[in-house]
Amino acid sequence: MLLCYLDESGDEQALRTPTDPPVLVIAGIVVSGESLRGLVFDFLQLKKKFYPALAKPELQLSELITHEIKGCDLRRDVRSTSRNRRRAAFTLISDVLALLTRYNATVVGEIHVKGDRPLRRWVYAEIVAGIASQFERRLGATHSSGMMILDARTKSKNVPAVHRLTTERFRSGGDPYPSLLESPVFGHSDAHVALQIADIVASALLFPMSCFAYSQCLLDNVHLSERYGELRDRFAPQLRSLEHRYARQDGGHSGGIVVKDHLNNQSTLSLYCERPFDPLRRDGARNRSIVTA
C-alpha cells in the first residue's frame, strides 16, 4: 500500500499586491505503508538533532510529535544574514531529502505561477485531481492500493477539494481511480508527522525555488530572494531524483513535479536549472489568452 501526503504553500488568490504569494504549490511525498514508521521515527530523531531542547529525557513523545519544523521558518532562515541559521536550514533540508531517499519515498506536486489573470476558481481541486491521476497511474503499474492524506484547511475549503474526485469515483462509466481505497481524507500536521515532511517539501523547497525561477520579474514582491537560488543549486539534482516519472503512450513523460507558468509560460525544467528565457513561449501564452478572452 502507498500513502500520498500533500500540503500547500501559497494561495489561490489573485496577484494584486507585493505581499501576495506569486505561486501556489500543492506537493508532498509518496511512501509505502511498510516504510512509513521508519521514516517518521527517523524524522523525529532529526527534530532532536536540530533542536536539542526536544531531546531532554523529561520531554513527552507527544510534545516531540506536535513540535513542527515549519517550511516557512526554514525559508526565513535561508534568507537570514546569519551564516549559522542558513547552514542549519540547509543541513536540515538535506537530511530530510536523504531520509526520503533512504525509505524509497518520492515527491509529487503541481505548481501554478500566478500571472495577470487570477487562477481558476477550482484550481485547488483540479490540482488534487491531477495528482490523484498521477498517483493512480503508479498504483496501477505496481498493483498496489493507496490513500491520499491532505493537510486540512477549513471545511468550506476541504469539501470542494475532494468533491470532484468523489463524484468521479461513483459516476456511471467506471471509476478512474480504482486503486484508491477512499477519496482523499484530511489530517492535521501536528498529529500526522508525514504531513510535516510534506510541508518541508512544499514550503521550504518548491515554493522558494519556483519564486526564484519564475517570478523575478515582479521585482518588489516580498516573497522573492536571491538566496533562494542557492536552494536550487544545492538540492535540484536530489529533488529531481526523487520524482516518480512514467512514459506516456505518445512517447513523452509525465509525473513528478509539474509547473504551470501563467506569468511567462516557461517550462518545468526552469525549476531545476538556469534556462534561457523563451519569448516565443511567453507570446504564445498571451495569444492563447487573447483568443479565449
Cβ atoms 217, 114 nearer than 8 A = no
Task: Report residue 289's pLDDT band, with 50, 70 and 90 as the boundaries.
Answer: very low
Q: Has residue 284 got a pLDDT over 70?
A: no
Closest CA to 242 of 69, 31, 41: 31
Predicted TM-score (pTM) of the model is 0.92
**What mean pLDDT do residues 160-187 have?**
89
Instruction: Report the mean per-residue pLDDT for the chain.
Output: 90
Supply the pLDDT for residue 252: 67
Supply the pLDDT for residue 280: 67
Q: For the packed helices 228-241 and 207-214, what is the interaxial angle rounded to 10 degrees?
A: 120
Supply the pLDDT for residue 279: 76
CA atoms in the 13 A half-sphere facing the CB of 148: 29
Q: Has residue 293 got a pLDDT over 60?
A: no
Q: Has residue 290 got a pLDDT over 60?
A: no
* pLDDT tens string 26-53: 999 999 999 999 999 999 999 999 999 9
Question: How far is 123 from 110, CA to CA, in rounded Å?
Answer: 11
* pLDDT tens string 86-145: 999 999 999 999 999 999 999 999 999 999 888 988 899 999 999 999 999 999 989 999
Residue type, 13: Q
DSSP letters of 57-125?
Answer: TTS-HHHHHH----HHHHHHHHH-S-HHHHHHHHHHHHHHHHHHHHTT-EEEEEEEE--SSPPPTTHHH
